[in-house]
Structure 1
Amino acid sequence: MVLDKLSNVARYTCMHPLFAQAFQFLQEADLMTLPLGQEAIVGKDLFAIISEGSGIPEKDAKIEVHRRYIDIQYVMEGTDHMGWRDLALCSEPNDPYTEERDAAFFPDKPSFWFDVPAGSFTIFYPDDAHAAMVTESTVRKVVLKIAVDSQV
């Protein structure tokens, strides 16, 4: 898991062949005017999901993991409260993985919580169980989905 500011993206572009394009999108797109929903960048290998709204209370948070996609979650406006736990420490999922949604959900609670303010991003790999949108304030964010096994 990574937590950093958009001004430091040069540190991370070497971590995946599509990270340079992903961060270029975050830096160059007019994110505040993009409509809510999905935005294609490189077909199914790299796409963005733009959302805005309030989240849920910490007591109701569920941690999740993905197998096919890495998440880069960038907060445009507000502060997203997130949680993290090492997948190896999670119990069996109470909502098992399905390929259709690329997610499994666990009854475990995060090992630690942190705030992600506007202008910052997280990177969650498939072994990073995470909970996001654990806030009652309004957050506008973009989640970039990057295929682990990209053909690019």
Structure 2
Amino acid sequence: MIIDTIQNAHKYFSVHPLFAKAFEYIQQTDLANAADGKSDIAEGLKAIISNAPGKTKETSLQKFECHNKNIDIQLCIKGVETIGWKPREKCVTPKGEYNDEKDVLFYDDAPDMYFQLTDGQFAIFFPEDVHAPMIGEGEIKKLVIKVKI
């Protein structure tokens, strides 16, 4: 997992061949005024913009998730978002089977830690990062970029 501010995004371009293009999309898009929805950025990159009320920890943990085929770049556009995290190798209680079509596996474990993102901060979740996003109060506007591995 990586946590940083958008001003430092260039430091991570070498981590994955599509990261430069993903962060270029972030820099060139008026995210504050962007409408909710999904769009394809390029081959292997999908953007999901949402503006929704924050969830309780309990509600978010019902979908304590990780992915096998995608990396998530989650950027907080507006608001304060708390995210739970735990390394996948420490999770012991899968909640159902891996859904190949949706590329998601849920766990019934508790996070090892919680951290907050606010305007212009992002987290990158790799397949080994189990995460519970959208915890908070008030509206949270965020962008999730799905990066194909």
Task: With the length of structure 2 as denominator, give the TM-score of the two structures.
Answer: 0.95
Cα shift at 1:100: 1.5
Cα shift at 1:30: 1.1
* Alignment-derived partner of residue 47 in structure 1: 46
Identity of aligned residues (%): 36
Cα shift at 1:97: 1.1
RMSD (Å) for aligned C-alpha atoms: 1.0
Cα shift at 1:55: 2.5
* Alignment-derived partner of residue 29 in structure 1: 29
Q: What are the equivalent positions in structure 2 for 1:1-152 lying under 5 Å apart?
A: 1-43=1-43, 45-62=44-61, 63-148=64-149
Structure 1, unmatched stretches of 5+, are none
Q: How many residues align?
A: 147
Task: With the length of structure 1 as denominator, give the TM-score of the two structures.
Answer: 0.93
The letter of the residue matching 2:141 is: R
CA displacement 1:5-64 (0-9 Å, x = unmatched): 000011100000000000011111111222211011013x00100000112211333210
The letter of the residue matching 2:68 is: R
Query: Could you tell which deviates more after superposition, 133-142 or 13-22?
Result: 133-142
Question: Structure 2 CA distance, aligned partners of 1:17 and 1:24?
Answer: 13
The letter of the residue matching 1:146 is: V
Question: Structure 2 CA distance, aligned partners of 1:139 and 1:109?
Answer: 23
